[in-house]
Chains A and B, each alone.
Chain A
Amino acid sequence: MTDEERLQEFEARIERGEKIEPGDWMPDEYRKQLIRMISQHAHSEIVGMLPEGKYITRAPNLRQKLVLLAKVQDEGGHGQYLYHAAETLGATREEMVDALLEGKAKYSSVFNYPSLSWADMGAIGWLVDGAAIMNQTMLAKCSYGPYSRAMVRICTEEGFHKKQGMEMVIRYATQGTPKQKAMMQDAINRWWWPSLMMFGPHDANSPNSPQLMRWGIKTKTNDQMRQEYVNELVPALHVLGLSVPDPGLRYDEKTGNWLFGEIDWDEFWRVVKGDGPCNKERLEARRKAHAEGQWVREALTAYAQKKAQG
């Protein structure tokens, strides 16, 4: 078979809804794009542990502490599922971790923003995990077997992340003291635009999207998902007496869409390129964790060697 024939058969398989498994023929570009997407996704989960990890020691009561611990622990596990999926395509764990620690790998920019109060835990859970769930639900149907299976697993576990966020937002917005309500509104104000940015650039500026759609990796465009997200969140926040920080927000009777103001794309690209409020801090935290964990890795290796010698 020529490469052209192989490509046609590959695309026909995807069209038929078949999963591509490790060992099946795939275009180099499919492999490369997936390694890039999946490893970035994995890095996002690991770095995403940091803004919330900061508040584990600051939880207001034991129940909240246990819930936050469980959420952060899940995110570590999700990173593991995703590194595994990328490894089935030929990437190695060492290459991926090194790329992150050297500042060469990207991860979701939303985690380059700081968490400034306990109320952020609610805002992050509902807004950030909520956006992630939309993306992940779509990816659970993707054409690459190991990625799709990892996403199904993640979606099942992510459900509680969004709900614990909603529970917190509802509590402070409807039963909180005036100070608590103000703190919750402030958290929403700071996390709203970064959450919208999670859906990526406008469709017109997203060059990979058509290819990704033809290969069954993406089924909805960035703008489509962003609009669905806004339509779900705005009425819910309004019902709770909260607002979103967008003077351009208005309801369009004809389409049923909540139309929103323009994202600050300068800020978006600056943060993506490394100049956000916490990029440096996040990278330093990961490097420190890696360096300080060295003795654990060495000890486990030594223990395994000793056991093997009997």
Chain B
Amino acid sequence: MDTQWSRYEVFEKERLDWPHRNAGSVHAPDGEMALLNARDVFVRRPSCLSLWVVPSDQVFSKTAQELAEDDSWRNAPAQAGAPLEKYLAFQKQGQRAGETFVIHVGEVEARSPAEAMSRALETFSHDNAFVWWVCPDRAVTKSDAEDAASMFEPARSKVYRQPNFYRVLTQMQQFKAGLAFIGEDEE
């Protein structure tokens, strides 16, 4: 039986004016390799400025349905002497196809995941919040802004990965209209 690798949630920032969005997950032995795997799996097309990965067991998540039905998670005791630290907060804010990503909405300070979730629920709007995630900032491995060019640039030059590189629709229209000659024995 193989050694199991941890699962890491992957967040991708595609544009300057968009927040990090959860794209999926990868398996890796540590954060550095999770970042590389995430690049190979999720960034084959040229639109990425930053990648974050975090072990999935560090993500504390609740759906709106779960929150409505059960409050007992709030009673989870914080570890004695646990320091106040930064937690990242995420929400899924839509139900229509293009909007259904868990996205980064901000930060809170807390001593435990449960406390971070409470803070997030107090801090961020509940309008259209279908899913809530929090994770400690220290558990996140982030791509280096300085490395962005070498990490993501190669994808930009591979234009043959884009459908608009192929003129087939124009060609088919021409054939259908009888405009292009279908030769019998060219040359």
The residues of A with any CB-CB pair to B shorter than 8 Å are: 17-19, 21-25, 63, 66-67, 70, 73-74, 77, 80-81, 84-85, 87, 92-94, 140-141, 145-146, 148-150, 152-153, 156-157, 159-160, 163-164, 166-167, 170, 173-178, 236, 239-241, 294, 297-298, 300-301, 303-305, 307-308
List, in ascending order, chain B residues with CB within 8 A of A17's CB.
95
Shortest Cβ distance from A163 into B: residue: B166
In the complex, are the beta carbons of A87 and B7 less than 8 A apart? yes
State whether A81 and B97 are in contact (beta carbons under 8 Å apart), knowing that A94-B2, A159-B163 are contacts in the complex.
no
> Is B92 interfacial (CB 8 A cutoff)?
yes
Q: How far is the CA of A54 from the CA of B160 in the complex (A)?
A: 20
Least Cβ–Cβ distance between A208 and chain B, in angstroms: 24
Shortest Cβ distance from A141 into B: residue: B97
Q: How far is the CA of A239 from the CA of B167 in the complex (A)?
A: 16
- Most chain B CB within 10 A, of A17, A156, A166, A178, is at A166
In the complex, are the beta carbons of A177 and B160 less than 8 A apart? no
Interface class of chain A by DSSP: helix
Q: How far is the CA of A157 from the CA of B44 in the complex (A)?
A: 9
Least Cβ–Cβ distance between A201 and chain B, in angstroms: 29
Beyond A18-B130, A23-B66, A23-B131, 11 extra complex contacts between A and B, CB < 8 Å:
A24-B66, A70-B160, A145-B100, A150-B24, A157-B45, A163-B163, A166-B168, A167-B166, A170-B172, A174-B180, A240-B175
In the complex, are the beta carbons of B44 and A166 less than 8 A apart? no
List, in ascending order, chain A residues with CB within 8 A of B95's CB.
17-19
Q: How far is the CA of A176 from the CA of B183 in the complex (A)?
A: 9
Residue in contact with B30 in the complex, picked from A70, A87, A173, A307, CB distance below 8 Å: A307
Residue in contact with A148 in the complex, picked from B4, B32, B100, B160, CB distance below 8 Å: B100
Least Cβ–Cβ distance between A105 and chain B, in angstroms: 17
In the complex, are the beta carbons of B65 and A24 less than 8 A apart? yes
In the complex, are the beta carbons of A174 and B175 less than 8 A apart? yes
Shortest Cβ distance from B42 into A: residue: A77
Least Cβ–Cβ distance between A95 and chain B, in angstroms: 11
In the complex, are the beta carbons of A175 and B186 less than 8 A apart? yes
Least Cβ–Cβ distance between A162 and chain B, in angstroms: 8
The residues of B with any CB-CB pair to A shorter than 8 Å are: 1-5, 7, 23-30, 32-33, 40-42, 44-45, 61-63, 65-66, 92, 95, 97-98, 100-101, 130-131, 158, 160-163, 165-168, 171-172, 175-176, 180, 182-183, 185-187
State whether A140 and B5 are in contact (beta carbons under 8 Å apart), knowing that A163-B168, A170-B171, A170-B172 are contacts in the complex.
no
Residue in contact with B160 in the complex, picked from A66, A93, A149, A240, CB distance below 8 Å: A66
Q: How far is the CA of A303 from the CA of B162 in the complex (A)?
A: 36
List, in ascending order, chain B residues with CB within 8 A of A157's CB.
44-45, 161
List, in ascending order, chain A residues with CB within 8 A of B176's CB.
239
In the complex, are the beta carbons of B131 and A21 less than 8 A apart? yes
In the complex, are the beta carbons of B158 and A70 less than 8 A apart? yes
State whether A94 and B4 are in contact (beta carbons under 8 Å apart), knowing that A87-B25, A308-B30 are contacts in the complex.
yes
List, in ascending order, chain B residues with CB within 8 A of A145's CB.
92, 100
List, in ascending order, chain B residues with CB within 8 A of A63's CB.
160
4 nearest A-B residue pairs (beta carbon): A304-B29, A159-B163, A163-B166, A304-B30
Least Cβ–Cβ distance between B27 and chain A, in angstroms: 6
List, in ascending order, chain B residues with CB within 8 A of A304's CB.
29-30, 33
In the complex, are the beta carbons of B30 and A239 less than 8 A apart? no
State whether A166 and B182 are in contact (beta carbons under 8 Å apart), knowing that A67-B160, A149-B101 are contacts in the complex.
no
Residue in contact with B62 in the complex, picked from A23, A173, A178, A298, CB distance below 8 Å: A23
List, in ascending order, chain A residues with CB within 8 A of B160's CB.
63, 66-67, 70, 160, 164
List, in ascending order, chain A residues with CB within 8 A of B101's CB.
149
Shortest Cβ distance from A140 into B: residue: B97
Least Cβ–Cβ distance between B121 and chain A, in angstroms: 15
State whether A177 and B161 are in contact (beta carbons under 8 Å apart), knowing that A19-B95, A236-B172, A304-B30 are contacts in the complex.
no
Q: List 15 A-B contacts (CB under 8 A).
A: A23-B62, A70-B161, A140-B97, A148-B97, A149-B24, A152-B97, A160-B161, A166-B168, A170-B175, A177-B185, A239-B176, A294-B2, A300-B29, A301-B5, A301-B29
In the complex, are the beta carbons of B33 and A300 less than 8 A apart? yes
In the complex, are the beta carbons of A174 and B62 less than 8 A apart? no
Q: How far is the CA of A19 from the CA of B40 in the complex (A)?
A: 28
List, in ascending order, chain B residues with CB within 8 A of A19's CB.
95, 100, 130
Q: How far is the CA of A192 from the CA of B48 in the complex (A)?
A: 38
List, in ascending order, chain A residues with CB within 8 A of B65's CB.
23-25
